[in-house]
Amino acid sequence: MPRLVMKFGGTSVANVDRIRNVARHVAREVAAGYEVAVVVSAMSGKTNELVAWVKDANPLYDAAEYDTVVASGEQVTSGLLAIALNKDGIKARSWQGWQIPIHTSEAHGSARIEGIDPKNLDEGFKRGEVAVIAGFQGVHAETGRIATLGRGGSDTSAVAIAAAIGAERCDIYTDVDGVYTTDPRVVPKAQRMERVTFEEMLEMASLGAKVLQVRSVELAMVHRVPTTVRSSFDPPDAARPGTLICDEDQIVEQQIITGIAFSKDEAQITLRAVKDSPGIAAAIFGPLADANINVDMIIQTVSGDQSTTDMTFTVPAADYERSRAILDAQRETIQFGQIEGATDVVKVSAIGVGMRSHAGVAAKAFRALAQKGINIRAITTSEIKFSVLIDAAYTELAVRTLHSLYGLDQA
């Protein structure tokens, strides 16, 4: 029998009534002839509540005990869904990450999946059971301790399990009915895409789209697991197909630009009058890397006499103050004149595999933004995307301008 993994997020299992609705979605796929594994998140808001309890008990908490507490949210949901399925006459049992087992690294709170042994799940399928799996968690083989995968980790759990059991596809159920060309709250004319490539979805997820967690898309791409984003709020007997994330060769007609993403989690730092000498970039970015601060856009402008340079780059907004403090501490080593910064900036990106075979795609955008009076602070490009850093006040105007420019209003 073909196998299918279904993942349901926190809003989809927010209460018992919604869990009953999830059971009906699962029943539809069982009736269609699939062996089904269901991965569930904690009920909406429960993880935040558990985290707050941990911090209240001790702000300097032990990371392993933190994982023990926060992993319990998914345990509750998996048990409740198994009970609901059994009530509807469908054989089901719940599984915690350590019972399967899902082996992870020991990085509590942000562990990575290192391997999954599907033997126990295979035995359950032979018994005709639906496997209801607690997402977001696994076990470290050496210590035997529960380890969680970080926020959004249930998506990663689902894709990894789909790869391990050889599933036909992985369906991610959420509160939207697919992946849109941009955020519909910003552009009402945004269109739901029928298909999008793994590469495009990975760029969109990393550049601000909140539909899927980045690591889950990486896993889907590496293991070539077709993944569909669907709505759990559709009637179970009339569910829409959603958006399929797949290989490029499965998309017959490819647009130049597939989607527009934006991220408000950006801050800009500029170092003025930096001595222009070998090793200066390492002196700037090395300490930031040691502090696990991700640097994104980088622009270097050399002075006329080529003795000094201005270095501009972006960091996550949450790391802005820490980054400035680290650089100030390195002032004598780096030998810069002054440090400037801004947090009222936004990164807007256009993504599309069609850019590989078309010239002038980014230049077209730069002209359109200039005509709207939008100043570009920084630019980065890659094979299938370009990003611009602009003032936050122009976010909606820039997104709408690019969305219309590339014909996505009628996609």
Give the domain ranges of the chain.
1-248, 253-410
pLDDT digits 0-9 by tens, 244-268: 999 988 886 678 899 999 999 899 9
Q: Cβ of 267: how many Cβ atoms within 10 Å?
A: 20
Q: What is the bridge-based pairing of β-strands 92-95 and 130-134?
A: parallel
The identity of residue 157, as a single letter, is S
* Distances from the Cα of 241 to the Cα of 132, 161, 228, 230, 272, angstroms: 22, 21, 8, 7, 52
Q: Which residues of 34-68 are buried (b: 16+ CB within 10 A; e: fewer)?
A: bbbbbbbbbbbebbeebbeebeeeeeeeeeeebbb
pLDDT for 411 beyond 60:
no
Lowest mean pLDDT among 135-149, 251-265, 397-411: 251-265
What is the 8-class DSSP label of residue 407?
A: T
Q: CB–CB of 409/255 below 8 Å?
A: no
The pLDDT of 25-34, averaged and rounded, is: 97
Q: Cβ of 185: how many Cβ atoms within 10 Å?
A: 9
Phi, psi of 6 (to 5 degrees): -120, 130
pLDDT digits 0-9 by tens, 279-299: 889 999 999 999 989 998 998
Side-chain half-sphere CA neighbours of 106 within 13 A? 5
Q: What is the bridge-based pairing of β-strands 3-8 and 35-40?
A: parallel
Equal CATH topology for 1-248 and 253-410: no
Q: CB–CB of 129/35 below 8 Å?
A: no
* Distances from the Cα of 171 to the Cα of 47, 76, 84, 289, 367, angstroms: 22, 21, 20, 36, 40
Token pair in block for residue 273: 């009058």
* Cross-strand partners of 171: 6, 228
How far, rounded to the nearest angstrom, does the alpha carbon of residue 340 sit from its chain's CA centroid? 30
Question: 253-410: which CATH number, 3.50.50.60, 3.30.2130.10, 3.40.50.720, 3.40.720.10?
Answer: 3.30.2130.10
pLDDT for 10 beyond 80:
yes
pTM score, whole prediction: 0.85
- Supply angle C-alpha 79, 85, 87, rounded to 5: 105
How far is Cα 226 from Cα 47, in angstroms, rounded to an integer? 28
**SS3 of 362, please?**
helix
Token pair in block for residue 385: 């995307």
pLDDT at 187: 93
Token pair in block for residue 5: 């993994």
Residues of the binding site for ATP: 7-10, 174-175, 180, 185, 210-211
Q: What percent of the chain has pLDDT over 90?
A: 79
* Cross-strand partners of 355: none
Residues of the binding site for substrate: 47, 74
Residues of the binding site: 7-10, 47, 74, 174-175, 180, 185, 210-211
Widest distance between CA atoms in the chain: 80
The identity of residue 256, as a single letter, is I
* Helix/strand/coil (H/E/C) assignment for every residue in 74-137: HHHHHHHHHHHHHHCCCCEEEECHHHCCEEECCCCCCCCEEEECCHHHHHHHHCCCEEEEECCE
Highest mean pLDDT (candidates 36-40, 255-259, 352-356):
36-40
Question: 1-248: which CATH number, 3.40.50.2020, 3.40.1160.10, 3.30.70.2740, 3.40.50.300?
Answer: 3.40.1160.10
pLDDT at 254: 72
The identity of residue 89, as a single letter, is G
